[in-house]
Copies of this chain bind each other. A is one copy, B any other.
């Protein structure tokens, strides 16, 4: 009845919203954050106006589209933290996060320089980074991670990883895997 609040969202609106998010994930993954909004709209089969009505800015759209990736990121770190061997856990984080970022061209940009408007995104980001710091402390105590490792090194690695440009996704994935290997070797304590 009339008492019901205007929580009723029209079915086509919900439908389009989901399709736009799907399209955004595909487009941003393939072309990065620089992809035109029109491209997302086209792929979603909606007009530009509809896209902008649901997501007023590209930042907002990206934040919501990358929410899955962000959750995946958090899971990766939690898995690493749960690993019985802290060093192995640390390595798995590096490997899996590099892989994740290699698969998705736009995610790194969103992650490393979180937008001002992406508040909740930023919160999850901070929480994840805190967990990484905790894992790093454990790995240092185990004696396998360099004592001078700092959290900024991880950001550095992510930024560097994002610099790996390649034509085919397969090549990019391979390069990213090699890169993760190099990085892990760099972070391991040396007997020197």
Contact = CB atoms under 8 A, between A and B. Distances in A.
A116 to B, nearest CB: 14
A188 interface: yes
Copy count, this protein chain: 2
Contacts of A160: 160-161, 163-164, 179
Instruction: Name the interface size band of chain A.
Output: 20 to 34
Interface string A79-95: 00000000000000000
Interface in A142-192: 152-153, 156, 159-165, 175, 178-179, 182-183, 185-188, 190-191
Contact of A156 (B159, B162, B175, B185): B175
Nearest to A181: B186
Interface string A48-67: 00000000000000000000
Contact of A183 (B112, B152, B162, B186): B186
A113 interface: yes
A164 B159 CA distance: 5
Given A185-B185, A186-B185, A164 B175 contact: no
Contacts of A161: 160, 163
Contacts of A186: 182-183, 185-186
